[in-house]
Amino acid sequence: MKSKTKLFFAANAWVQGAWARDVLLTVGADGAWSDIKPNATLPDRRGASVLEGPVLPGVVNAHSHAFQRAMAGLTEQSAAAGSGVTDDFWSWRDRMYSVALRITPRQMESIAALLYAELLAGGYTQVCEFHYLHNAVDAQAYADPLEMSLALVRAAQRVGMGLTLLPTLYMRAGFDSPRLRDDQRRFASTPDSVLRLVEGVQSQVGDLAGINVGVAVHSLRAADATAIQEVAAFASRNGLAQHIHIAEQMQEVQDCLAHTGKRPIDLLFETQRVDARWNLVHATQATALELRAVAQSGASIVICPGTEANLGDGVFDYAAYAGIGGHWSIGSDSHVTRRWSEELRLLEYSQRLTRHKRNVASQTGDCISTAAALFEAALSGGKSATSLALGGLVVGCRADFLVLDMRSAALLGVPSENLLDALVFSSPDARFKSVFVAGNQVLAEGSACALASEPGPHSGIERDFVDTMKALF
């Protein structure tokens, strides 16, 4: 929807990697920044809405499985207590499948609506939804194949979250299996069905603000090279972002070696034309040579520190990858965390724990501030993840921004030049007083729950989520 030009004034705003003062922010009728003017004079500010706190750009959440929000906190009791059986990623996956097999389209919408409101409260303004829950419980296609996809679109529209929907190819259970397991039956797809989902969503949403599409392949074990090539060629022709899980778990690497003689990232580069459209999710088990190949290709890695820690995936070699200029973005994946500040903190702390050093991220680039180094890289990676003009208070980018609540305990008394550092590294996390997407306020007073209880388009979000949880569990 088109709107009139809007003017905002911020006493402090994050512009080109640093805090700028007295910034006049102009949003064009298309919802993108048309002018960013630091050191604005009093006459310049006339007619501008004054923002009551420092302003940061919104961040892209580059990897989400919305339905897994329903599981947050419910898999932390060992299913193998006293049995001597290891509780690991694969046992967690079985529990995840049991939930995935029960979720209806209406429940998907209610889960995603609360999640997306929480992500807005956590400073994300666009989410990449890695979506493979396509079919009905009995594995048959819905009468409308877009049923589950449009549930996610409705959830995003309900709360004002930007959404990049990634219909996902999922054809087989593993390298040595020609078909899916029974508990994966809802994921079944082909290159043709995925491409029809993309085209169907594009047709349905038209020019809805903040909604676009890309494509995804679940993993190399989930589809053969020819099928992946078909999806990737479609993405290339249409300028879409391409996502794939890769090298997340040691068993995945070992299976790939056993059946192909190659490690996953090596196999990907041997069988596909990997370029800047590609987004490789996790890569926690990548070698230094594989990371160099990714960096040289222009592709990005999507790092999900909260989920990678929760699932025991391992630690991504951030220092090596960032040290050679590798591009990356941040994601919350299974949503055990839902704030980018916490994801960036976990990313840095994992490096400190394994390297026995401090301020690792700042030593891989030009920034003195570790938080700034992480934040700027995450902003930049959002463009690759979405194929949209996102990524900062920059003319031409969509006008997504966050207003810090200076009443937050983590920010009290902090000098202005250290605000971003305190936001990332001082917990409990600072709040965002308000959040804007395309120049429109979508969240007030920093609380998704407070907003959900207000009359209007957000009312009932919490109630719907609670009803869904009762039905599922």
Going from the first residue of the chain to its last (473 residues), give the mean pLDDT of each consecutive group of 10, the final group possibly shorter: 82 97 97 98 96 98 98 87 78 94 97 97 98 94 97 96 98 95 96 98 89 98 98 98 97 97 98 98 98 98 98 97 97 98 98 97 91 97 96 97 97 97 95 97 71 57 96 96
- Residue 209 confidence (pLDDT): 80
Q: What is the pLDDT of residue 79?
A: 63
Q: What are phi and psi of 83, to 5 degrees?
A: -95, -15
The CATH class for the domain spanning 6-56+395-452 reads mainly beta
Both tokens of 21, joined, read 């003062």
The whole-number pLDDT of residue 1 equals 42
| Active-site residue (options: 313, 333, 429, 464) | 333
- Nearest Cα to 427, choosing from 348, 322, 369? 348
C-alpha distances in Å from residue 21, one per residue of 25, 65, 439:
12, 38, 20
CATH class belonging to 59-386: alpha beta
CA distance 9 to 24: 5
- Cβ distance 19 to 54 under 8 Å? yes
Angstrom distances, CA of residue 277 to CA of 133, 197, 241, 273: 23, 19, 5, 10
Q: Are 216 and 244 in contact (CB under 8 A)?
A: yes
The label of the residue with tokens 């936001």 reads: 423
Q: Between the CA of residue 98 and those of 50, 76, 91, 177, 217, what are the distances in Å?
A: 49, 16, 11, 21, 22
Q: Nearest-CA neighbor of 119 among 253, 237, 20, 210? A: 210
Residue 456: the pLDDT is: 54
Alpha carbon distances (Å) from 295 to 274, 318, 366: 11, 12, 18
- State yes or no: is 333 an active-site residue: yes
Specify the amino acid at residue 131: H
For residue 282, indicate whether it is catalytic. Answer: yes
The per-residue pLDDT for range 25-48, each reduced to its tens digit, is: 999 999 999 999 999 999 999 999
Please tell me which residue in 282, 327, 335, 458 is annotated as part of the active site: 282
Query: Per the structure block, which two tokens stand in for 163?
Result: 């959404």
Residue range(s) in the chain whose domain bears CATH number 2.30.40.10: 6-56+395-452
pLDDT of residue 153: 98
d(CA 334, CA 422): 26
Start-to-end CA distance of the chain, whole Å, equals: 39
Find tokens 């934040």 and name the residue. 375
Span(s) in the chain for CATH 3.20.20.140: 59-386
Contacts of 106 (CB under 8 A, 6+ apart): 151
Strands 59-64, 242-246: parallel, antiparallel or unpaired by DSSP?
A: unpaired
pLDDT tens digits, residue range 226-249?
999 999 999 999 999 999 999 999
